[in-house]
Amino acid sequence: MAGPDTHDLDSAAGATYFVVGRGTEGGPSSYHLSITGVTVGTSDPHWGTPGRIVADSGYTLGTIQVDLGKRGTWALGATDGAALKPGETTYVDAVIDQSAKYAKDHGLRFTGDTAQLRKDLLSHGNGKDGRSTLSFIDTDTRDGINAWAGSEEGQKWIHKNIDYPQIRNATQSAMATVDRLGKNIPEDRRLETIAILAKTENQIPSQVAKFEKVLKDGGDYDDVLAKAEQIKRTYPYYDGPKAAEIAERYKDAYKDPTKAAVLDRAHDKVGSPDFNPKQSANDADIKDALKAIGQGGRSHDHHGSTLRQGAHGASVTAIQEKLIKLGYTDGHDRPLTPDAQFGPGTKAAVEKFQHDHGMKEDGIVGPKTLEALNKAAQPAAPARTSPGHPSLTDAASPGHAMYNQALQGVRALDAQHGRTPDHLTDNFAGSLAVAARAQGLTRIDHVVMGDDRARAYAVQGELNSPFKRVADVDVRQAVTTPLDQSSATFHAANRSEEQERQPVLSQQPQQQHPAPPLQH
């Protein structure tokens, strides 16, 4: 049977390192102190802006992206919060000790208040919806940590003490769960199941119990995958289904005996305490293992080239962020995650964009698709204001009040999803105002998303009232319709209504003119 030996911990952990660690986690920011929503690759364009942080995220580090805000006080290398044993240290204390020593040895600036640094590194969240707020560390100390993490010394330490121990522990736990409860998991689906469980334990440990229940109830692999997809609908950033997809692709590489031998050697190498990530880009076995998870070819970014499924890097992230801003989703209408990996979900979103713009639906981002995508995602020009066409943002517009009501509702949705309001927010609100007017609403009290997030609703009245009035819009069309266009549509509808009333109004003075006095 093709595939790594999923009954052997060393073999299974090696496969999990590539499938889960390299396939779904750190990417270019593995050896960079990162914050989801703030960090892009190895730069931090949104440093100091808590509102850009995604949900409850904290500082992360390593290929497996350990979240110091959530696991910083756990024992180094652990995947659970068990009490420290004698001689053990925590993730956060070990990172501070190693990076501070490196900074001192290399003459780098680094805070002397390690107690405050520890407190800051354990913080997390964007401060929205009752969440705590992450404390940004000073940039000198941040740069000192990154200098250590990116060095050969730092990368070797991180792999040996953070990445591989976590991978091994998560794999061992997943294997034990399948061995104990997975009586209906076939041999040819063990790798995918282990990948889902290991990914879940690493990313959302609270959800592992749901898979245990599925297996206890006699569930098979299809049931496990269905549960992973259900969890992703609740937590869009969850990558359990992606881990399963990569595991299946990785397993297929084993059908070639020569490739199978190469992958087994790669597993042995990453499991070695002497493994040097800094030099792995030149290792033929490691490169072949990366090809097996769709990261073949150049290990750096795909600048200036055609992007297709299997590509990765900052250029892919940029494409994903544009698609997200424009409201495009994957093949199951789920939100995309800007993870720098061009997978099936990104391909499906590109195909939808191409369909809407009359282009060949091949899911490949070539020059024409890229040009159209850049144009569509550009901020609209400032809305024009003229006597005949006031913008909805102008207090003189008859739709100004309704637009502001819609805008407040859309901004609330942005906050719920950790999104910073931008010109697409304005477009969305303008489209809702136009739809609400067309459906006879006189105000907008609520803005809500449909369950599939494909449509949004403007509601007048209480949400549970049988007398509420509702107008709906297609989300994708709403965010891509320029505010100026919605302003013109609203104004035209208002002018048309006034013209329809005009004949009636012009007759009213004649009807009300007093009769001439009687002559005597």
The pLDDT value recorded for residue 304 is 42
Determine contact, residues 36/60, Cβ cutoff 8 Å.
Answer: yes
Q: Is the domain of 344 the same as that of 440?
A: no
Which of 265, 296, 327 is where one domain is finished? 296
Report the distance separating Cα 70 and Cα 73, nearest Å.
8
The answer to the question of residue 103 being in a domain is yes
Of 288, 37, 14, give the one whose Cα is nearest residue 159: 14
Q: Is the domain of 170 the same as that of 292?
A: yes
Q: Is the domain of 335 the same as that of 273?
A: no
Q: Is the domain of 185 the same as that of 278?
A: yes
For residue 75, what are the β-bridge partners? 90
Q: Is the domain of 405 the same as that of 259?
A: no
Q: Is the domain of 134 the same as that of 185?
A: no
Q: Is the domain of 248 the same as that of 196?
A: yes
Q: Is the domain of 93 the same as that of 141?
A: yes
Of 91, 141, 263, give the one whose Cα is nearest residue 191: 263
End-to-end CA separation in angstroms for the chain: 118
The answer to the question of residue 508 being in a domain is no
The answer to the question of residue 512 being in a domain is no
Buried b (16+ CB within 10 A) or exposed e, 216-232: eeebbbebbbebbeebb
Single-letter amino acid, residue 292: A
Residue 164 phi/psi, 5° resolution?
Answer: -70, -40
Q: Is the domain of 12 the same as that of 64?
A: no
CATH number at residue 347: 1.10.101.10
The pLDDT value recorded for residue 212 is 97
Residue 230 phi/psi, 5° resolution?
Answer: -65, -40
Q: Is the domain of 136 the same as that of 171?
A: no
CB atoms within 10 A of CB 433: 31
Determine contact, residues 196/11, Cβ cutoff 8 Å.
Answer: no
Report the distance separating Cα 45 and Cα 39, nearest Å.
7
pLDDT along the chain (520 residues), means of 10: 88 93 73 87 86 88 87 88 90 97 93 97 93 96 93 93 92 96 96 96 90 97 95 86 90 90 93 89 87 60 59 77 82 76 85 87 88 76 51 85 90 77 86 92 90 83 82 87 86 74 48 39
Of 262, 330, 314, 271, give the one whose Cα is nearest residue 292: 262
DSSP string, 38-102: T-BTTB-TTTT-GGGS-TT-BEEETTTTEEHHHHTTSBTT-SS-PPPPTT--BHHHHHHHHHHHH
The pLDDT value recorded for residue 465 is 77
The answer to the question of residue 513 being in a domain is no
The answer to the question of residue 357 being in a domain is yes
The pLDDT value recorded for residue 197 is 97
* pTM, rounded to two decimals: 0.57
Instruction: State how many domains the chain has.
Output: 4
Q: Is the domain of 76 the same as that of 198?
A: no
The pLDDT value recorded for residue 27 is 63
The pLDDT value recorded for residue 321 is 82
Domain containing 438: what range?
400-503
The answer to the question of residue 308 being in a domain is no
Question: How do residues 117-156 score in pLDDT, each as one tens digit?
Answer: 999 999 999 999 899 999 999 999 999 999 999 899 999 9
The pLDDT value recorded for residue 338 is 76
The pLDDT value recorded for residue 39 is 84
CB atoms within 10 A of CB 48: 9
Report the distance separating Cα 300 and Cα 313, nearest Å.
7
The answer to the question of residue 301 being in a domain is no
Q: Is the domain of 234 the same as that of 179?
A: yes
**In Å, how far from its chain's centre is CA 29?**
15
Which of 150, 185, 218 is where one domain is finished? 150
Question: How do residues 166-190 score in pLDDT, each as one tens digit?
Answer: 899 999 999 999 999 999 999 999 9
The answer to the question of residue 476 being in a domain is yes
Report the distance separating Cα 146 and Cα 102, nearest Å.
10
